[in-house]
Amino acid sequence: MADAFIIKKPWITEKATDLTAHNQYVFMVKSNASKPEVKKAIKAIYKVDAVAVNMVNRAPKKKNFRSGFQEGYRKAIVTIKEGQKIDLV
């Protein structure tokens, strides 16, 4: 069940919540995760069938922090089969 560790956490924002009306859910994933790996992990964790996975990379930004920069991250927008639902609460 090593695939389950690819998903870090659900991404819950106002925009991501609006996507649930279209059977799309947003998750923060590891930076080296691929689309097939995310699809398997969603099936293993939430017991739903993923139809499509879209990946979004956010580059790190230079900010005035002690470390000197803000970390980047990777999001996966997962479309699940019609009639299925993920309860993120």
- Domain with 44 in it: 2-80
In a domain, 60, yes or no: yes
Helix (H) or strand (E) run with residue 40 in it: helix 35-46
Q: How many CB atoms lie within 10 A of CB 80?
A: 20
Identify the pLDDT of residue 67: 65
CATH at 14:
3.30.70.330
Decide the pairing of beta strands 50-58 and 7-10: unpaired
Domain tally, the chain? 1
In a domain, 89, yes or no: no
Euclidean distance between CA atoms 46 and 58, whole angstroms = 25
Contact 16, 31 (CB under 8 A): no
Identify the pLDDT of residue 88: 83
In a domain, 87, yes or no: no
Identify the pLDDT of residue 2: 55
In a domain, 76, yes or no: yes
In a domain, 42, yes or no: yes
Euclidean distance between CA atoms 32 and 45, whole angstroms = 19
Q: What is the pLDDT along the chain (89 residues), one digit of tens a residue?
A: 457 799 999 999 999 999 999 999 999 999 999 999 999 999 999 999 999 999 999 988 777 767 667 788 999 999 999 999 999 87
